[in-house]
Amino acid sequence: MSTDAVLRSEALDGGVVVLEMTRPARLNAISRRLARDLTDALALLAGDATTRAVVLTGAGERAFGAGIDVRELAEQTPAERDEQRQLMIGLQRTLSDYALPTIAAVHGIAAGASLQLALHCDLLVVGPGARLGMPELSAGLPGILGAWLVHSRVGPQLAADLLLTSRWLSADEAVAAGLAARLVPAGEERATAVAIARAIAAHEPHALAATHAWLRRLRTAPTTFADAIEAADKALHAANHPDGSDG
């Protein structure tokens, strides 16, 4: 296990790695350092052949993450704010296009940019005390990225409801709406996410990679059944010819 001030990476058996944001005193709010370290950690794991799935969670009992660190933001120069924005865009792009399956274990508050990170993951596991929200408008900020994510996951009605009213979504509502996959007992969010990650990682690597890539494509790209047939043919060919040959 390796630790630092803002992020902990723990490699478990079964090819699973847990990335835990460790700023509980700030409700795991995303600082520039956390955004940078998380991006670097994800890039490192993507290139590690022994890592098969990643779990993202937050330390402490109160929050998965409270969004951007507004205290740090208030003290930043214009150049530092631009750096923060670019770091967050880079982090979200990394998660959006990530090659490995990712599971977010969400307890307590998941707000703004932190909820956006969770929504970029393939699966969300939530505890009964989870509260999900995109309260950017209530802070006088536009909620463009959050609106795009919620809309792409579950459609325009919930996106408008969350973004325009800044209301909080309960764990029950999140699962019922399809924004989260599973509701688990309090305190079991991380353990359940790890169990799911191990089950995913146990699959045949080529078949898993092809299925995961297709699921990622389905999130945002218009597709037809013909596209699915083409993707399936390519995946089967790759499985039969892992050396890349055409024979």
Helix (H, G, I), strand (E, B) or coil at 102: strand
The larger pLDDT score, comparing residue 243 to residue 204, is at 204
Report which of 220, 189, 216 is spatially closest to residue 55, judged by C-alpha positions.
189
% helix, strand, coil for the chain, step of 5? 50, 20, 30
CATH architecture of 2-201: Alpha-Beta Complex (3.90)
61-87 residue pLDDT tens: 999 999 999 899 889 999 998 899 999
Q: Which tokens go with 103?
A: 């599971």
On whether the CB atoms of residues 110 and 65 are closer than 8 A, the answer is yes
* Pairing of β 63-65 and β 109-111: parallel
In the chain, % of residues over pLDDT 70: 96
Q: What is the pLDDT of residue 244?
A: 55
Q: What is the pLDDT of residue 173?
A: 97
The larger pLDDT score, comparing residue 82 to residue 244, is at 82
Cβ-based neighbour number of residue 224 at 10 Å: 8
Our measurement of the distance from residue 44's CA atom to the centroid of its chain's CA atoms, rounded to an integer in Å, reads: 16
Q: Where are the domains of the chain?
A: 2-201, 205-240
Could you tell me the pTM of the whole model?
0.90
Query: Amino acid identity of 110?
Result: A
Q: What single string gives the DSSP state of each residue in 156-169?
A: HHHHHHHHHH-PEE
Distance CA 155, CA 148 (A): 9
Q: What is the pLDDT of residue 241?
A: 63
141-187 residue pLDDT tens: 889 999 999 999 999 999 999 999 999 999 999 999 999 999 999 99
Range picked from 145-159, 188-202, 227-241 for highest mean pLDDT: 188-202
Q: What is the pLDDT of residue 3?
A: 45
pLDDT-derived band at 245, boundaries 50, 70, 90: low
Whether pLDDT at 29 is above 50: yes
Average pLDDT, the chain: 92
Distance CA 204, CA 139 (A): 46
In the chain, % of residues over pLDDT 90: 80
93-112 residue pLDDT tens: 999 999 999 999 999 999 99
32-63 residue pLDDT tens: 999 999 999 999 999 999 999 999 999 999 99
Whether pLDDT at 1 is above 60: no
Distance CA 136, CA 29 (A): 14
For the chain, give me the number of helices (H) and strands (E)? 10, 11
